[in-house]
A = this chain, B = another copy of it.
């Protein structure tokens, strides 16, 4: 179906749509003077504070990679480390007020841009797409790297 071979297999569709999302994410990050990874860090922390370990698992990074990422975010005043009162080895990473503000702006801009990608879909198509992607996300236990727009 579809004129001009517009329909892709699921695999190519997922990969190429991801490429678009990545590009849009990068554009948003750049707009706010962030790197993609820093933007991702802020988005994750919007939900709640994380320990370094959880953060690495969520972002799919080794702990050694994370130290630097958090360091740079700390240096920019976006994030801070707080000691864990129950475990003197552990730290919690959480947004500073400025970090939260920037995170929310970045999040909103990214939502807007990603939404624009799907601009030509009808409301029922959007629902259908959201449901199908939701299935994939949940079946594969994708970590919460990006909150849903309508938060419970």
Contact = CB atoms under 8 A, between A and B. Distances in A.
Interface of A: 1-2, 5-23, 25-26, 60, 110-111, 114-115, 117-121, 125-140, 142-150, 152
Contacts of A132: 13, 121, 125, 128-129, 132
Contacts of A142: 16-17, 19-20
20 contacts: A1-B131, A6-B138, A7-B134, A9-B130, A9-B148, A9-B150, A10-B126, A10-B127, A11-B111, A11-B115, A11-B118, A12-B148, A13-B133, A15-B25, A16-B137, A17-B137, A18-B21, A18-B22, A120-B135, A132-B132
- How many copies altogether? 2
B10 A129 contact: yes
